[in-house]
Structure 1
Amino acid sequence: MNKLKFVPVLITALCAVNFGFAQVGINTTTPMSTLDINGNLTIKEIGIVNANVAGSSTFNGGPAGSATQINDGVYISLTPTAGNDEFILPNAVDVPGRIYILRNISNAVTARIYTFGGAFYAKDSNTATGAPLNMPANALLKTIIVISDGANWTYIF
């Protein structure tokens, strides 16, 4: 009788293992990746006041030594103000694979980016860049993409 109780558990476990390697397709019958999307993708945006997004608000910086923590969203519009121009990323170790797209929407103040852990590396360098990363108000470097490799942050202007 005990062997009969074991059979459903074994079948369930084998099915769960099989589903653990599944690929998900959205608008495709033959997904080629873990997640394969044939169509548009919308990601969470925070920062800009946007009438089309409920609860959207500006993402203001913090004063020197008390940077505003970045820990939510993917596309984040930064609004630094004089004296409140610092933003800080999470520790890269805690968020491997995390990607942020940051944009300084100020026309007057440079946004300064720090991290709770991990160094900053330019996409084409093996030498760490000293913090902060500066995102000028009126220049070509207003947008930056940062990616955690599980130890450090790689950035692309």
Structure 2
Amino acid sequence: MLKSVGFLVLFLLFVPSGYAQVGINTTTPLSTLDVNGNLSVKTLTLNGSGSVTLINDGVYVSVNPQATDQEFQLPSPITYPGRIYFLRNINNTNTAKLTTAAGNFFFKGLTSGGVNTLYMYDNHYRTLLVISDGSNWTVYENYTP
């Protein structure tokens, strides 16, 4: 009995608590993950097809529609709260139709007027940053007139 109590005390002393901060290239992390240096994320190119092309992998995604209004679909923001995608239409001719499996797209700062489809084309919504808030996608656009 005394051995098991001693083991429990040692275990509690040396097991880290549930709150931890991880630092990469820093000895004093100030956030849950603190990176002092460069960060690389998975990038990929998705070519459009005759059916809906699902976006379910990567962070920086180049969409390449092979015909006008080919559909690229984000996953449900409900399933992936906090998920971030950088999306860019790399085709200079064809429009990419962006949809979501659930929820709507709301442009930054708006609480009404959400839409379920966006069209990405040359000089308008060419590059988008979308972030799941757990219900919808918040859209940050890079508009070039």
The normalised TM-score by structure 2 is: 0.87
Q: In the superposition, relative to structure 1, how do residues 80 and 10 fare at CA in structure 2: closer, same or farther (>3 Å)?
A: farther
Q: Which residue of 1 aligns with 2:109?
A: 124
The TM-score normalised by the length of structure 1 is 0.81
CA distance in 2, matches of 1:74, 1:30: 27
8 Å Cα contact 1:60-1:84 kept in structure 2? no
Q: 1:36 to 1:81 in 2, by over 3 A?
A: same
Distance 2:79 2:12 in 1: 30
Query: How many percent of aligned residue pairs carry the same amino acid?
Result: 47
Gaps of 5+ in 1: 48-58
State the alpha-carbon separation in 2 of the partners of residues 33 and 152 from structure 1: 26
**CA shift digits 1:64-115 (9 cap, x unpaired):** xx31110100000000011671100111111010000000000001111111
Q: CA deviation at 1:131?
A: 2.3
Within 5 Å, give how 1:42-57 maps onto structure 2.
42-47=40-45
4+ residue segments displaced more than 3 Å: 9-17
Q: Which has the higher helix share?
A: 1
Report how many aligned residue pairs link the two structures.
Answer: 141
User: Contact 1:87–1:112 at 8 Å: present in 2 too?
Assistant: yes
Q: Which has the higher strand share?
A: 2
Distance 2:19 2:103 in 1: 31
Question: Does structure 1 residue 147 correspond to structure 2 residue 134?
Answer: no
Q: Could you say what secondary structure the match of 1:129 adopts?
A: coil
Distance in structure 1 (CA, Å) of the matches to 2:68 and 2:94: 9
